[in-house]
Amino acid sequence: MKKLLALILALGLFVGILSGCTGDKEPAGTDPTQKPAETGGEETPGADDEGTENFNATGYPIVNEKITLTLFSVKAPIQGDWEEMPFWKEMEEMTNIAFKFDLAAPEAALERKSLLLGSGDYPDIFYGAGLSGDEELTYGSQGVFRDLNELVDKYAPNITAFFEANPDYKSMSFASDGNWYTLPQVSLAPRDTVASKLWVNQEWLNNLGLPMPKTIDEYYETLKAFKENDPNGNNQADEIPMSFCGDTLGQTRGAFLAAYGVMYNSEFFDVKDNNVFFIPTSDAWKAYLTFMNKLYKEGLMDTESFTQTTQQYVGKGNQTLIGSFAHLASYIVDTMENYPKYKAIPPLTSDMNSEQMWPNKYPISFGQFAITDKNEHPEASIRWVDYFFTHEGGAFMSQGPEGLGWQYIDEERKMWEKIVPDGYASSEEYRGTLTPNCGTATPGVVTGEFLLGLNAAHVVNLEEQIAEAYLPHMKSSFPILKLTADEQEEAATLKTDILKYVEQMEASFITGETDLSGWDDYVANLEKMKVGRLVEIYQTAYDRFAGAN
C-alpha cells in the first residue's frame, strides 16, 4: 500500500490536498486561538458578516451567536432524515450555523430548482443541487449567485490552496463570463480519475498459456484464442471473448481509441496542438470501427452487445462467461468473489500509435455550492464550506463522523474500515443516515490519501491494478468546458442530430449493416449537418479555457 501511495503522490494526484491534513477540526490556515476582531458595532439585518462582532474570520465557532440559513438540495432515496443526520448536528455544534432544508427528490429536483430560481423565492444556499453551466451564467450574471472570488480569497484558505494547486479545476469551475459562482465536489482516488479499465480474465490467459496483450493485434489474437480453445475448460463453446452493453459502450470506445492515439472520455472531442477536432470524423475513429467490425464478423464480440440490457450483460458476467470487457471495476460485471480472476490490460498500441496512453477522467462534479444574494451571511457561509476542502473535512463529508460509520484501525490514522450496525443491509444504507454525501454530490474534496486507506481487499486490489496498468500512461482528455448561453443553445441544436447520427452509424458500421466503404459519405453527411460549426463553438470555448490558465 505504501508503494501505491508513493506512486500516486509522485504523479501529483494529491498536490494541494495534504496541506489540509490536520489532526483536529481546525482547517489549514486558521488560528483557533485568535479572537474575533473588535469592531464595536452590532450586526444589523441584511448586513454582511465582515466587520460584525458575531463573525469570526478564523477559528471556531464561525459565529458566536447561532444563525440559521435556508438551503436547497437533492435528497436521495437511500438517505435518512436530514434533520437527524449527525453530519448536520456536528457541523452546527462546531460552527454555530444551522440550516432550514428545502429538499427535492431526484426526479423532481430540476423542476423544483427551476421554480425557485424563476420565482425569486430561492434560498440562501444551493447545496448539492447540480447547478448547470447555463444556470450559473444566467443567474450569476443577474446577481442571484454571488461571485465567489473575493470571498474565497479572504475567508477560504483551503479552497484557495486546492485550486492554486489544481488550476485546471478552477478554470473549469468558472462560468463562461469569467466569474466564479459555484464550488464543485472532487474525489481524488485513482479509481475516480481513470475513465475506464480494460479487463481480461487472467485465469483464461493462464489456462491457454497466453501473455498479456500489448498491441491491438495481440488483443485480437487473445480473443480468437478465447473463442477457439475452451479457456474455461468445460468442453462447451460457451465463452464470450468480448462484450459490452449500452451503458458501457463509451468505456469500450475509450479503451480502443486510446490504442489509436485519441483520448476519448465522455465528449466526442479531442485536441491536438490546441486544435479541437471531432473524434467521429477522425482516422482513429475509422480504425476503431474497422477493428470492431472485424471482431463482430468473426464472432469475437458478443453479437448482442448493442441490444442487451445491463441486467443481461451482468448476468453473463456473473457466470464468468466474458473473457474481456471495459468497466470501472471487474466486480461490477462478474461477482465480488471473482475479482481476483481479472487483470487490467495496460494501454494497447497500434500501427497508428506506438505510445501507451490512457484518458484521464476529471473527478469533479460542478455546480454543487452557490451563495445567493439573499444570504445575509456570505462570509460565514464560505467559511462553513471551506472546511470540506481539508483532508479531515473531506473524510467527514464522505463518511460522516468518525466512530459512527467508520473508524481508523492504525496508529498513523491512515487505514480505516466501515462500521455497519445490526439492522442495516449494507454500509451504504447506514451511511445514508449519517451524511448527505451518500447519494448527493456535496461540495468539497475527498482526498486520495483518505480513500486509499479503506481496508477492503477488492478496493486495494483495484487501486493497485490502476497504479500498475494506467497511472504511468495517463493523458489529459478533453476539458469540461462552460459554454455561453448562445453557444450552449446553438451547440445543443447541432448536437441533437449529429450525435444521434454518429451513434446510429457507429452500430451500423460495426455490425456490417453499412460497409466501411461508405465512410466518405458518412463524413460528408456530418459536414452537411454542420459538424464544422460545432467544432468552431468548442474551439472558441477551449481557447477561452486555455486563456484562463
Grid cell 474551439 in the structure block, residue: 539
Contact criterion met (CB below 8 Å) for 115 and 340: no
Distance (Å, whole) CA 192 – CA 195: 7
Q: Is the pLDDT of residue 48 over 90?
A: no
Of 130, 365, 358, residue with least CA distance to 254: 358
pLDDT tier at 158, thresholds 50, 70, 90:
very high
Burial class (CB in 10 A: 0-12, 13-18, 19+), 36: middle
Q: Following CA atoms 207, 211, 215, 216 in sequence, which dihedral angle do they give, to the nearest 10 degrees?
A: 0
At 115-155, the pLDDT tens digits run: 999 999 999 999 999 998 889 999 999 999 999 999 999 99
Task: Please give the residue that has the higher pLDDT: either 56 or 35.
Answer: 56
Segment 383-434, tens digit of pLDDT = 999 999 999 999 999 999 999 999 999 999 999 999 999 999 889 999 999 9
The stretch 364-376 carries a mean pLDDT of 96
Mean pLDDT over residues 52-77, rounded?
96
Class of domain 195-359+477-549: alpha beta
The predicted-structure confidence for 298-346, as pLDDT tens digits, reads as follows 999 999 999 999 999 999 999 999 999 999 999 999 999 999 999 999 9
Mean predicted lDDT score pLDDT of the chain: 90
Q: Does pTM top 0.85 for this prediction?
A: no
Residues of the chain with CATH 3.40.190.10: 2-23+53-191+364-451, 195-359+477-549
Q: Name all contacts of 522-525 with Cβ < 8 Å and 24+ positions apart.
A: 523/281, 525/501
Q: What is the distance, to the nearest Å, from the Cα of residue 145 to the centroid of all Cα atoms in its chain?
A: 24
pLDDT tier for residue 38 given thresholds of 50, 70 and 90? very low
**Domain 2-23+53-191+364-451, CATH 3.40.190.10 — does that match?**
yes
- In the chain, % of residues over pLDDT 70: 90
* 549 — pLDDT class (breaks 50, 70, 90): low
65 and 96 in contact (C-beta within 8 Å)? yes
In a 10 Å sphere around its CB, with 0-12 CB exposed, 13-18 middle and 19+ buried, how is residue 81 labelled? exposed
